Structure 1
Amino acid sequence: MRGEFNSVQKLVRDENPYAFYMHCFAHRLQLVVVAVSRCCSSIEDFFEYVALIVNAAGSSCKRKDILLDKQRINLLAKLESGEIFSGRGKNQETSLARPGDTRWGSHYKTLVRIESMWDAVIQVLAIVHEDERNPSRAGGLVQIMESFSFVFIMKLMLQILRITNQLSLLLQRKDQNIVQAMSLVTDVRSSLANLRNHGWEPLFEDVKIFCNVNDIPVPNMDEAVPRFGRSRKGGRNNVTQEHFFRVDTFYAAIDAITTELDHRFNDMASELLCGFSCLDPRDSFSKFDLDKVAKLTDIYDADFSNDDRKRMKTELQLFINHMRRHDDFRVCYDLASLAKKMFELERNVMFPLVYRLIELGLLLPVATTSVERAFSAMKIIKTDLRSKMSNGWLDDLMVCYIEREIFKGLDLAKIKKEFQHEGRGMPLPRST
């Protein structure tokens, strides 16, 4: 990973090549999205404009109210004309979301809302431009939004992020299945390759339809224009419009996200996590795969001799038959409980190679989505005042904030009664 202290993992691996570390896969995918949002100048400028649009249209409560009101009027007009249809869960009131490098799925959510609230956003920007006493960027942002380049990149990024969003949602689940997630990574790569090979024409038609509906001029694709950021003088740097949008933008974005996926979700990380997840004891070792587990001995080359690798498959087969036949191991729910039960029943002596693999799995540091959420929550919870309180109280506040969806379903009256029955210096007021 990259952060304030760069190359720390590399320094550790140089000293100990088997000190593997698995960072949160959901955060890895977000880093892929961040990388593609900066893969070329035109796309990087696009997301900078998006941030300015969100700030200009929703920087105050008054502007947010105007935006929601305009969106409501536009939806009613479309419903009356039959352009859209009503139904449960459709046409919900929403607002613009600000994209953030550390907020999972925020880039996709922002673009979805800008597209769905297109007319309302432009109307609000026009109002801001007319009402501002001081010069503002709102008028210029309207011109940028109503350009073919902005619409094209918006539609392109929506297609790319729509493919990766399903993987992002799966990786954010607390009960994520690593084997399924790695399989979906392969499917995402395949979908991106298909988009690169066959997606240009459908995308271009979609962009033209959107531009025609919103009175945005479509340029002549055979027209010669200077390369992005180059001078027109001399004409030596000129390319056609189609080359700019197809090669310099469309292909560049897809190639960038494919390269980042290969870099972030490399084979070593996939093999490690898939291999150890196959030793999950839940549901009578339902995920067990002998070949994937045996392959771990090749990764941890220094921990297993050639003779050990030859014996591993035989021992694994005996191990899985033994585990499924004895009810003592049905209570195990993860690798730690499995290792503890094997030690208690002396199965570590019976299956020494498998037990060694389990020990290596327990030593493998893996940052999960819960860890990432905890770090994000620390910035909100740990204020200067709360820095002076005890760790126990801070831990309780962190749990309440991180698991707030669960706490929303709790009955406050019951919680209050529990506190009322406890001994304390000052009684709580009785609930009515």
Structure 2
Amino acid sequence: MALQRKDQDIVSAMKLVDFAKRQLQIMRESKWNSLIENVSSFCDKNGIVIPKMDEKYALGKSKRKSSTVTYSHHLYVEVFCAAIDLQLSELNNRFSEVNIDLLLGMASLSPDDFFTNYNKNKIMKLATYYPNEFAASKLEDLSCELDNYIGYVREMDNALSNLKGLGDMPKTLVKTNIHKTQGLVYLLVKLSLILRVATATVERAFSSMKFIKIDLRSMIGDDFLSDCLVCYIEDGVFGSVSNDAIIDRF
């Protein structure tokens, strides 16, 4: 629930993810005994019958099938550990190392609370994911620019104090001519904003596929499918186009 809060900043959210992963791993390694004791105690108090943990667990529907697996082993491996592994897998899929690096890098560039989250190492890590724009020599130049950039912007109290989020930065950087002296930083800010738009667009496209990709899909080509997706995703724009205009166009 904490990760779903709209006022949650990226840095705090990533810390929560890391903490959740560590807690799940600790639970997997050392909390089984205490959990089974608490469950057994609850069942005893409420008259709930539970199997003896050292008895053999019957495989499948037939209890006649022999088994070397005890109830304790079955519950621990196939239920307890499996549930934790599923949660860890979900967190790792949603918050992979690359995703976390990108998110923390963008958060480090953000002017929120007057660059409270600024972290040069995380920004440099973000730049390495753009090898075409930041070759080895450009990374060295970026490192020098960042040192000058953060010192300069923190002295500009009036111009940057009211910025909210990364989206507010480009206009201000252009207005103050910082984009000319700190061109690589400005480029990285633009790339970060493009990434957010591109990611949202891809997610919307895949979400729309379930409406577009029906039985008729096998009868149309990729170009027509792409056109259908554009019309569906940008329905607000196409809804404002009159039928007469479409007829005249074709």
Q: TM-score, normalised by structure 2?
A: 0.74
Aligned to 1:96: none
Tell me the alpha carbon deviations over residues 48-78 of structure 1, each in whole angstroms, 9 at most, x when there is no partner. xxxxxxxxxxxxxxxxxxxxxxxxxxxxxxx
Choose from 181, 184, 209 the match for 2:16: 184
Aligned to 1:296: 126
Percent identical among aligned pairs is 33
Aligned to 1:263: 93
Of structures 1 and 2, the one with the larger relative CO (CA 8 A, separation 6+) is 1
Higher percent of residues as helix: 2
Q: CA deviation at 1:231?
A: 3.4
Q: Does the 8 Å contact 1:232/1:238 carry over to 2?
A: no
Aligned to 1:212: 44
For 1:334 and 1:255, locate their aligned partners in 2 and report how far apart those are by CA, in whole Å. Answer: 35
Does residue 103 of structure 2 align to residue 273 of structure 1?
yes
Choose from 328, 332, 342 the match for 2:163: 332
Aligned to 1:172: 4
Q: CA deviation at 1:248?
A: 1.4
Name the aligned partner's letter for residue 222 of structure 1. D
CA RMSD of aligned residues (A): 2.2
For 2:135 and 2:74, locate their aligned partners in 1 and report how far apart those are by CA, in whole Å. Answer: 55
Q: CA deviation at 1:328?
A: 1.6
For 2:83 and 2:65, locate their aligned partners in 1 and report how far apart those are by CA, in whole Å. Answer: 29
| Secondary structure, counterpart of 1:211 in structure 2 | helix
Does residue 168 of structure 2 align to residue 353 of structure 1?
no
For 1:354 and 1:272, locate their aligned partners in 2 and report how far apart those are by CA, in whole Å. Answer: 15
Tell me the alpha carbon deviations over residues 86-108 of structure 1, each in whole angstroms, 9 at most, x when there is no partner. xxxxxxxxxxxxxxxxxxxxxxx
Aligned to 2:80: 250
Tell me the alpha carbon deviations over residues 84-129 of structure 1, each in whole angstroms, 9 at most, x when there is no partner. xxxxxxxxxxxxxxxxxxxxxxxxxxxxxxxxxxxxxxxxxxxxxx
Q: TM-score, normalised by structure 1?
A: 0.44
Name the aligned partner's letter for residue 354 of structure 1. V
Q: Does the 8 Å contact 1:226/1:238 carry over to 2?
A: no
Name the aligned partner's letter for residue 167 of structure 2. A
For 2:88 and 2:167, locate their aligned partners in 1 and report how far apart those are by CA, in whole Å. Answer: 36
Q: Per the alignment, do residues 187 and 355 of structure 1 end up closer, same or farther by CA in structure 2, a change over 3 Å counting? A: same
For 1:196 and 1:305, locate their aligned partners in 2 and report how far apart those are by CA, in whole Å. Answer: 42
The gaps in structure 2 that reach 5 residues or longer are: 208-235, 237-250
Q: Does the 8 Å contact 2:109/2:166 carry over to 1?
A: yes
Tell me the alpha carbon deviations over residues 244-298 of structure 1, each in whole angstroms, 9 at most, x when there is no partner. 1112111211122222222221011101011011112122211100110111111
| Secondary structure, counterpart of 2:69 in structure 1 | strand
The gaps in structure 1 that reach 5 residues or longer are: 1-167, 376-390, 392-432
Q: Per the alignment, do residues 288 and 234 of structure 1 end up closer, same or farther by CA in structure 2, a change over 3 Å counting? A: closer
Aligned to 1:343: 174
Q: Does the 8 Å contact 2:58/2:65 carry over to 1?
A: no
Task: Within 5 Å, give how 1:62-141 maps onto structure 2.
Answer: none
Aligned to 1:317: 147
Name the aligned partner's letter for residue 243 of structure 1. H
Choose from 221, 231, 234 the match for 2:53: 221
Q: CA deviation at 1:192?
A: 0.8
Aligned to 1:193: 25
Q: Give aligned pairs, total.
A: 202
